[in-house]
Amino acid sequence: MKTPAWRYVEDLLAGRKPRPFKASEDEAAEVRAAILLRSEQDSGEPSEEFVAALRDRLADELAEQPAPSTGGRRRFVKITTAAAAAAAAGAVIDHALITQTAAAPEKQNLVPDNGEWRAVVASTDLPDGSVRPFDLGAVTGFLRRRGGEVSAVSAICTHLGCRLRLDAPERKLNCPCHRTSFNVDGSLAEHELPVAPAPLPSLLVRESGGHVEVFVPPPA
Amino acid sequence: MGERAESQHERQRAEPRGLHLVGQDVYADWEAVYRDNVGRIHRLMYAKVGNRPDAEDLTTEVFLTALKPLRVTASVGEVRSYLLATARTVLAEYWRRTLGRAVTTLDEELGISTPEPVPENPIAPARAAAILAALPERYRRILELRFLGACSLREAADEMGVTVGNAKVLQHRALRQAATVAEGMLS
């Protein structure tokens, strides 16, 4: 009797993010009743961490807005009630100047200071369009061939370091810890975290002697 | 009026940061909008989805969507109803995406919003109690144990002297009946 609706309700009870499913009208009503009962138990006050993290994220987002003409950011807050505006404008400008905070996380390359090329898989085993996990101990990742080009990204989630799993049909790399997922090119696909984790670092990769090789640190 | 405001601000000293709400009618900047509304939007979303991860995601989406185009030329009440309208759309899209049905909406809240603050989760407690009261004893009991008492399924089963399997069936039926009762109360 572990229907999707049942699982949904159990997720609600456990405080987890419930999984989507195609609900019938009855199931939707059941979920609605569960939400109603559930939300009585909690005022739904946001956590301080969430409020602070979202504030920071908004500051980043607003700072990233293009400001082609003069005062692009200032335009965001324009107040028409003159008296209030007079009192507020100082603060507005002040804010416009200070929101240039940390930039969004950028993609990086993982290149050991010294290392060696290690064969991971035969070139023929990585046909065009395919994605394959590999594990070389110190380095785990996913190989991908697209348009003949081979590339590789790390298999370690940039959030808390959990090992990602390949969902081949969806072409996604899923984190088992917080339901974060990345695209096979390493870019972030989905996350439920207050701050978006960085994309997956790329690894150095080449084809040589009929093998796909990855550049890894030397054995300790 | 905007120009007048611009020229006037030059005479003003910068406000200390952190407290931006000026007068009763307008927000000073996006942070003031955020601080005044984040709790309200989150509570509303929580009441509508019943879990924190989703409530946080949806709150995030509301502010990301609403703040960029927002010009704070509007009164506090107008800003709030704009946020609420955004929240309504975000919630509708969430249900479309997840269960394919509008399980809950913010329609009622929208009608009574401006310019007063949105009543927070206005009817849930009363309604939940009324729904429970309308259920047969055993249905009410299992839902109380699981939803209000935070019991696991096994604990609830032990408490009621039934097997886990029975408790499961009981919970399922109780929720279905609660849904029917809730529907009846709405219409």
Which of A32, A39, A55 is nearest residue B103 as measured by Cβ atoms?
A: A32
pLDDT value of position B123: 53
Question: What's the gap between Cα B16 and its chain centre?
Answer: 32
Q: Which residues contact B80 (CB under 8 A, 6 or more apart)?
A: B37, B40, B113, B114, B115, B117, B118
Is the Cβ–Cβ distance between B56 and A118 less than 8 Å? no
Is the Cβ–Cβ distance between B62 and B83 less than 8 Å? yes
**B26 contacts A87? CB cut-off 8 A:** no
Q: What are the CB-based long-range contacts (under 8 Å, 24+) for A164-172?
A: A164/A200, A166/A131, A166/A133, A166/A142, A168/A131, A171/A131
pLDDT value of position B125: 63
The answer to whether residue B172 neighbours chain A at the CB level (below 8 Å) is yes
Question: Which single residue is written with the structure tokens 């090119």?
Answer: A185
pLDDT value of position B126: 74
Nearest CA distance, A159 vs chain B (angstrom): 16
Q: Which residues in chain B are closer than 8 Å to A29, comparing Cβ atoms?
A: 176, 179-180, 182-183
DSSP string, A141-158: EEEEEETTEEEEEESB-T
pLDDT value of position B22: 40
DSSP string, A1-56: ---HHHHHHHHHHHTPPPPP----HHHHHHHHHHHHHHHHT---PPPHHHHHHHHH
pLDDT value of position A92: 36
pLDDT value of position A72: 36
pLDDT value of position B185: 79
pLDDT value of position A163: 84
For residue A199, which of A164, A153, A163, A168 has the smallest C-alpha distance?
Answer: A153
**B30 contacts A45? CB cut-off 8 A:** no
pLDDT value of position A90: 35
pLDDT value of position A53: 95
Is the Cβ–Cβ distance between B103 and B94 less than 8 Å? no
Q: Quick one: average pLDDT of B3-16? A: 39
**B4 contacts A40? CB cut-off 8 A:** no
pLDDT value of position A202: 86
CA distance A34 to B2: 49
Q: Which residues in chain A are closer than 8 Å to B180, comparing Cβ atoms?
A: 29
Task: Please give the mean pLDDT across all residues of chain B.
Answer: 80
Residue ranges in chain A whose pLDDT is less than 50: 67-104
**B148 contacts A37? CB cut-off 8 A:** yes
For the ranges A147-151, B87-91, B122-126, the maximum mean pLDDT occurs at B87-91
pLDDT value of position A68: 43
pLDDT exceeds cutoff 90 at B48: yes
Q: Which residues in chain A are closer than 8 Å to B76, comparing Cβ atoms?
A: none
pLDDT value of position B18: 38
**A20 contacts B179? CB cut-off 8 A:** no
pLDDT value of position B127: 80
CA angle B113, B118, B124 (to 5 degrees): 115
- What pTM does this model have? 0.55
**A192 contacts B51? CB cut-off 8 A:** no
Task: Give strand pairing partners of A188.
Answer: A182
Tell me, what DSSP letter sits at residue B148? I
Q: Quick one: average pLDDT of B128-147? A: 93
Backbone angles phi, psi at B121, to 5 degrees: 45, 60
pLDDT value of position B124: 56
pLDDT value of position A178: 80
Which of B8, B25, B98 is nearest residue A86 as measured by Cβ atoms?
A: B8
pLDDT value of position A81: 34
For residue B72, which of B9, B26, B7 has the smallest C-alpha distance?
Answer: B26
Residue in B closest to A85 by C-alpha: B5
**A11 contacts B51? CB cut-off 8 A:** yes
pLDDT exceeds cutoff 80 at B105: yes
pLDDT exceeds cutoff 80 at B180: yes
Say what the ipTM of the complex is. Answer: 0.79
pLDDT per residue as tens digits for the range B142-166: 999 999 888 999 999 999 999 999 9
